[in-house]
């Protein structure tokens, strides 16, 4: 029985020699991300801005979006957005209250229900006040930072502190770049987006730990091998597993991107993008950084210089 191999066996790719290309890509990505976050910020969803979200179904025909938009806008709530989803009889109503109506989310929901009448079935109603939305955003940021930090501490405990530092940088890189995707594309950034970033942090470290474990194993086996060659050997040995895992995960996420609808679109796109970024960073960020760690580099003080000197 022949097995499918996306990556050939016994590859001998010089990942260490190509690390400067990886560093250049990483630096450019970080610059774009920082610029997008500074200039554009996030397109915050209802969870983080406060307001009202209503999913409604018209039981006696199709929704007349133009007339509904005019009616709801004329009620003086503030910013009103309508979106079709599922079928022409389904509508997603988003209301971001004006300054005069802040704190009146429950009243706005009641007024919208009265306005639309009995011909609409209300399947989901969410209202978030401005104070709660601010707390949710702050807690979301703290959760992302703590997850990256705790992952790094665990890696440092299981391996060595140098591996923990490399894991922290790589995982933070993945989370930040994916957050930059939300800013650059202006997709809604909400609680589902935070969940995507937390999921990505856990997924990203998986590939990194596999490579780190093989590096540790090979350090015991090849005590005199230069560190650069050791990293190349370990990365090539785990490359097939890394790529196969990423491809299988991506295949399972793609249907969510296509058929998941508006509620899951941002989440699934972030996971799919993060799979690519996480696979790349495990090789060109986490592993390459070990060359410059003090104690790791002490095994082979000229490791980085020797890697650069090779033709």
Domain presence at residue 8? no
Indicate if 217 and 231 belong to the same structural domain. yes
Greater model confidence, 42 or 127: 42
| CATH code for the domain in which residue 221 is found | 1.20.1640.10
User: Could you say which of 74, 97, 128 is where a domain stops?
Assistant: 128
Q: 272: which residues sit within 8 A by CB, 6+ positions away? A: 250, 253, 254, 257
Residue spans of beta strands (DSSP E) within the chain? 43-44, 51-58, 78-85, 87-97, 120-128, 188-189
Closest listed residue to residue 204, CA positions, set 237, 176, 234: 176
> Under a CB-based contact definition with an 8 Å cutoff, are residues 291 and 297 in contact?
yes
Whether 103 shows a pLDDT value over 70: the answer reads no
Q: What residues make up the domain containing 83?
A: 51-128
Indicate if 121 and 220 belong to the same structural domain. no
Tokens 């933070």 locate to 172
Q: How confident is the model at residue 4 (pLDDT cuts 50, 70, 90)?
A: low
Domain presence at residue 14? no
User: Could you say which of 128, 163, 181 is where a domain stops?
Assistant: 128
Q: 253: which residues sit within 8 A by CB, 6+ positions away? A: 268, 271, 272, 275
Domain presence at residue 1? no
Say what the pLDDT of residue 61 is: 76
Indicate if 94 and 238 belong to the same structural domain. no
Indicate if 136 and 120 belong to the same structural domain. no
DSSP SS3 for 52: strand
pTM listed for this prediction: 0.74
Domain presence at residue 161? yes
Indicate if 250 and 285 belong to the same structural domain. yes
Using left for φ > 0, alpha for ψ between -120 and 50, and beta otherwise, residue 209 falls in alpha
Beta-bridged to residue 97, according to DSSP, are 78
| CATH code for the domain in which residue 124 is found | 3.30.70
Domain presence at residue 10? no
Say what the pLDDT of residue 34 is: 92
- pLDDT by residue (tens digit) across 115-154? 777 777 777 777 766 666 777 788 888 888 888 888 888 8
User: Could you say which of 104, 128, 152 is where a domain stops?
Assistant: 128
* Cα 17–Cα 22–Cα 25 angle in degrees, nearest 5: 150
CA dist 296 to 14, 49, 299, Å? 19, 46, 6
Indicate if 111 and 248 belong to the same structural domain. no
Say what the pLDDT of residue 259 is: 80
Indicate if 149 and 197 belong to the same structural domain. yes
């Amino acid at each position: 029985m022949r097995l499918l191999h996306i990556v050939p066996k016994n590859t001998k790719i010089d990942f260490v020699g190509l690390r400067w290309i990886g560093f250049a890509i990483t630096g450019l990505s970080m610059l774009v991300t920082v610029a997008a976050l500074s200039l554009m910020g996030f397109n915050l969803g209802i969870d983080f801005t406060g307001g009202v979200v209503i999913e409604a179904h018209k039981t006696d025909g199709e929704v007349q979006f133009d007339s509904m938009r005019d009616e709801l806008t004329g009620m003086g709530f503030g910013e009103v957005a309508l979106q079709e989803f599922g079928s022409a009889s389904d509508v997603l109503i988003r209301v971001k209250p004006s300054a005069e109506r802040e704190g009146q989310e429950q009243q706005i929901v009641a007024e919208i229900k009265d306005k639309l009448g009995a011909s609409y079935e209300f399947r989901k109603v969410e209202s978030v006040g401005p104070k709660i939305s601010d707390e949710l955003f702050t807690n979301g940021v703290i959760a992302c930072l703590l997850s990256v930090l705790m992952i790094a501490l665990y890696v440092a405990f299981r391996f060595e502190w140098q591996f923990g530092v490399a894991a922290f940088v790589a995982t933070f890189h993945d989370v930040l770049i994916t957050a930059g995707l939300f800013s650059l594309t202006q997709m809604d950034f909400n609680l589902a987006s935070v969940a995507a970033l937390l999921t990505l942090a856990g997924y990203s470290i998986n590939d990194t730990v596999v490579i780190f474990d093989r590096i540790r194993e090979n350090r015991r086996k090849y005590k005199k091998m230069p560190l650069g060659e050791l990293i190349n050997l370990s990365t090539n040995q785990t490359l097939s597993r890394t790529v196969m895992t990423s491809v299988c995960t991506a295949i399972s996420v793609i249907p969510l991107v296509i058929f998941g609808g508006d509620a899951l679109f941002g989440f699934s796109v972030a996971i799919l993008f993060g799979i690519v970024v996480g696979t790349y960073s495990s090789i060109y960020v986490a592993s390459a950084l070990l060359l410059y760690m003090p104690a790791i580099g002490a095994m082979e003080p000229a490791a980085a210089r020797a890697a650069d000197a090779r033709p």
